Amino acid sequence: MNKEKFYITTAIAYASRKPHIGNTYEVIMTDAIARYKRMMGYDVFFLTGTDEHGQKIEDLAKEAGIEPQKYVDGVADTIKGIWDMVGASYDKFIRTTDDYHEKTVQHIFKKLYDQGDIYKSEYEGWYCVPCESFFTDTQVVDGKCPDCGRPVQRMKEEAYFFKMSAYQDRLLKYIEENPGFIEPESRKKEMVNNFLKAGLQDLCVSRTSFKWGVPVTFDDRHVIYVWIDALSNYITALGYDVDEKGELYSKYWPADVHIIGKDILRFHTIYWPIILMALGEPLPKKIFGHPWLLFGADKMSKSRGNTIYADDLVARFGVDGTRHYVLSEMPYNSDGSITYENFIARYNSDLANNLGNLVNRTIAMTKKYFDGTVPARGEVTELDRELITAVEEAKSAMFKNMDEYKIADAEDAVFTALRRANKYIDETTPWVLAKNEEDKPRLGSVMYNLLETIRVCANLLYPFLPSTSEKILCQLNTECKSLEFGGIEEGKAVGEAEVLFSRIDEAKMLAEIEAEMAAKAEAQKPVEKPEGLALINFEDFGKIELRTAQVVECEPIPKAKKLLKLQLDLGYEKRQVVSGIAKFYKPEDLIGKKVVMVANLKPAKLCGVESNGMILASGEDTVRVVFLDPETPNGERVC
């Protein structure tokens, strides 16, 4: 029997920098939907990847002193590594520097040019490098980009343009006839009222001011601009080309949903559909613009210094702990928020207390009262029906919300059932039932209902917490994937109880985080230029004689806590040097090491001990001696 197909994509991540958790949320959300659809029996194709061309990347590569391809190779590896780390179960990871993609983008551009949708002209306007977008005088706000708020540049260059205006009415009609095409509804109204009804301008689709892009085949001064290049990935990944559709394309296109951030909604709901219309291809069924994950109340950005990265969160809270927070804290239509205080509170409440404690004590009671075997399901009481109904309602609510992409509500539905199970334990008091032999059948029913509630909920949690779901089923010693109540096998031994989520000491962890952030901020501080230093000429510098030497003896100086007395071998003579490094080095740390010394410094007495030179070191609060390669000969001139 052929499965119904489901094609889902993320926006491809821009390969300029390491993505923060706000960027990573999108792939976690998309993965949850993909896993849910697979669980429901769909043939899923999940696409993600990286957008690797543009002026910003060309500039960053130049700053780094490497070729753009090498630069994006490194960033793409980082992005792919983070996607893998958070459990993204994608079927393909596309890069816009892949040969097949670049070739097809050139064919798309040529086809659109040949049929008159693209023409050459000249562009003059405001350009935002980070957003890679042009803006008119009326769109720019106080000389800054209306999207990201950064300064824009005035640019004038020859360019090719796409006739967006020719498709405006057709797209507007399509949106009106397909009410679910853009979601949430508020995003659709924004696109229609602010852009389509206001009138579309023709779109700049090539550039000549930089070279890092896909060349236009018939005009090599131009590279194809990012939005034709990047947006086309959704079909090139499936093997689409203008003259050949490919097996995957024929099977999976049109996409069932593009999951994208609200900041790039215009490009996906206006430019991309129009490009597809011009190519004569079907439009995606749905474009879902998710909100942002904010740091407190602010948008995350490297320039603000408020970025949180997925790998840091995973190191503290685990993969599923991280997935749970971002999925549960992101509303359907408004921005979510992340703070460490909220993260720890939700982790302790939902994962450690509600889920982890429920699983642990249920298996422990099964071991204690029934020798670790699943008891028989006995008579069903009103309390039991309430628990079973809560599980059934959780399943229905989860399905409904997942189908509407209300991910936080879907996951919360399952946790509502888990909370009901914890209450059920308090209501039935298994520890009291265990005291009387005549209550053993009732105790068996209670334990069966708890084990089965956990089994069903573990399967329902799979899209959100895949690793935890598998661990719970392993502890239950069952492979039953049925979502109907009553699937766990009576008389079968359960597995070993293990802690799923250890409760976090909030005060301790927040103190650790604060200390790490302070250290990181200190390390990132720019080094201030020393003041009051007189410039010297080359002749003055030439008077300083720096020589290599080996420390052959070292000892502290009595009554001088800061000083060490060193005997240095210059090869041609021995020297005694006194140095104020006792706070940072023990004598045994220095003996045998090769150092640099100022060999022509006038002798001086420190605490009554003569010093005939000085060894080089850096720092003030923390002193670091300059050590040389052990193979360095003694007495060499340093110049």
φ, ψ of residue 452 to 5 degrees: the values are -70, -35
List, in sequence order, every residue forming a beta bridge with 128; answer none if it has no partner.
Answer: 133
Mean pLDDT of 438-459: 97
Residue 356 has pLDDT above 80, yes or no: yes
What's the whole-number average pLDDT of the chain?
92
φ/ψ region of 477 (left if φ > 0, alpha if ψ in -120 to 50, else beta) reads left
Other C-beta atoms lying within 10 Å of the C-beta of residue 281:
16
Return contacts of 188-193, CB within 8 angstroms, 24+ apart: 188/269, 190/265, 191/265, 191/266, 191/269, 191/270
Per-residue buried b or exposed e for 483-512, using 16+ beta carbons within 10 Å of the residue's own CB: bebeebeeeeebeebeebbeebeeeebeee
- What is the DSSP-derived secondary structure letter of residue 264? G
Alpha carbons 368 and 623: distance in angstroms, whole number: 60
Would you say 578 and 542 are in contact if contact means Cβ atoms under 8 Å apart? no
> Which pLDDT belongs to residue 411?
98
Helices (H), 477-614: 506-524, 538-542, 587-590
Q: How confident is the model at residue 105 (pLDDT cuts 50, 70, 90)?
A: very high
- pLDDT at site 390: 98
pLDDT above 90 for 470? yes
What is the per-residue pLDDT for 299? 56
With vertex at residue 190, the alpha carbon angle to CA 189 and CA 194, rounded to the nearest 5 degrees, is 115
Q: Contacts from 282-286 at CB under 8 Å and sequence distance 24+?
A: 282/253, 282/254, 283/174, 283/181, 283/254, 284/234, 284/254, 284/255, 284/256, 284/257, 284/258, 285/180, 285/181, 285/254, 285/255, 285/256, 285/257, 286/180, 286/181, 286/182, 286/183, 286/256, 286/257, 286/258
Question: Are 35 and 463 contacting, i.e. CB atoms less than 8 angstroms apart?
Answer: yes
pLDDT of residue 562: 87
Q: C-alpha 582: how far from its chain's center?
A: 45
Per-residue confidence band for 57, with pLDDT thresholds at 50, 70 and 90: very high
Flag whether pLDDT at 148 surpasses 80: no
Instruction: Examine the pLDDT at 547 and tell me if it is beyond 70.
Output: yes
Tokens 């958070």 appear where? 86
Q: CB-hemisphere CA count at 13 Å for 428?
A: 29
353-358 own/partner pairs: CB under 8 Å, 24+ apart: 353/503, 354/415, 354/418, 354/419, 354/422, 355/415, 355/418, 355/468, 355/500, 355/501, 356/499, 356/500, 356/501, 357/422, 358/418, 358/421, 358/422, 358/425, 358/450, 358/454
Q: How far apart are CA 627 and CA 536, in angstroms?
A: 26
For 139, 146, 431, 456, 563, the CA distances from 142, given in Å and listed in that order, are 10, 9, 69, 56, 59
In sequence order, the β-bridge partners of residue 48 are 93
Which SS3 state, helix, strand or coil, does residue 489 take? coil
pLDDT value at residue 622? 81
* Band of residue 128 on the pLDDT scale cut at 50, 70, 90: confident
pLDDT of residue 530: 59
> In DSSP terms, which residues pair with 45 in a beta bridge?
7
Residue 126 confidence (pLDDT) above 70: yes
At 306, is the pLDDT very low, low, confident or very high (cuts 50, 70, 90)? low
Residue range 209-225, pLDDT digits in tens: 899 999 999 999 999 99
Give pLDDT tens digits for 365-417. 999 999 999 999 989 999 999 999 999 999 999 999 999 999 999 999 999 99
Sequence-distant contacts of 72-78: CB under 8 A, at least 24 apart:
72/15, 72/97, 75/15, 75/16, 75/17, 75/18, 75/50, 76/15, 76/50, 76/52, 78/18
| CB-based contact 451:366 (threshold 8 Å) | yes
pLDDT at 107 over 60: yes
pLDDT value of position 136:
74
Which pLDDT band holds residue 155 (cuts at 50, 70, 90)?
confident
What confidence category does residue 296 fall into, taking pLDDT thresholds of 50, 70 and 90? Answer: low
C-alpha span between 171 and 188 (Å, rounded): 12
**304 or 180: which leads in pLDDT:** 180
Residue among 294, 19, 23 at smallest CA distance from 10: 23
Question: SS3 for 52?
Answer: coil
Q: How far is the C-alpha of 530 from the C-alpha of 290, rounded, in Å?
A: 48
CB atoms under 10 Å from CB of 215, counted, come to 16
Task: Give the C-alpha separation, 270 to 289, whole Å.
Answer: 13
Among residues of the chain, what percentage have pLDDT more than 90? 75
Least confident window among 255-259, 317-321, 536-540, 626-630: 536-540
What pLDDT, on a 0 to 100 scale, did the predictor assign at position 529?
59
Is pLDDT of 43 > 90? yes
How many angstroms from the chain centroid is the CA of residue 17?
11
Q: Distance of CA 634 to CAs 121, 541, 545, Å?
A: 69, 22, 14
Residue 343 reports pLDDT greater than 60: yes
Q: Distance of CA 114 to CAs 109, 200, 240, Å?
A: 9, 22, 19
Query: Which pLDDT band, with edges at 50, 70 and 90, does 579 fall under?
Result: very high
DSSP letter at 151 equals B
Amino acid identity for residue 163 in this structure = K
**Would you state the pLDDT for residue 626?**
93
What's the farthest any 2 CA atoms get from each other in the chain?
103
What lies within 8 Å, CB to CB, of 213 at 6+ separation is: 53, 54, 207, 223, 224, 225, 226, 229
Asked if the model's pLDDT at residue 298 lies above 90, the reply is no
- Who has greater pLDDT, 334 or 345? 345
pLDDT of residue 527: 62
What are the residues whose beta carbons fall under 8 Å from the beta carbon of 405, sequence distance 6 or more?
33, 183, 257, 288, 332
Instruction: Write out the two tokens for 271.
Output: 């430019």
> How much is the CA Rg of the chain, to the nearest whole Å?
33
How many alpha carbons fall within 13 Å on the CB side of residue 478? 26
Predicted local distance difference test score (pLDDT) of residue 305:
52
Residue recorded with tokens 């075997």: 373
Task: Compute the distance between CA of residue 235 and CA of residue 247 in angstroms, rounded to an integer.
Answer: 12
Asked if 613 and 568 touch (Cβ cutoff 8 Å), the reply is yes
Of the candidate ranges 64-78, 84-98, 403-417, 556-570, the one whose mean pLDDT is the lowest:
556-570
Give the pLDDT band (50/70/90) at residue 456: very high
Secondary structure class of 351 (helix, strand, coil): helix
Which pLDDT score, from 0 to 100, does residue 607 have? 81
Chain segment 158-210, per-residue pLDDT in tens? 999 999 999 999 999 999 999 999 999 999 999 999 989 888 989 999 999 89
Flag the least confident range among 358-367, 575-584, 607-616, 617-626.
617-626
How far CA 88 is from CA of 10, 81, 188, 323, 468, in Å, comes to 11, 10, 28, 10, 15
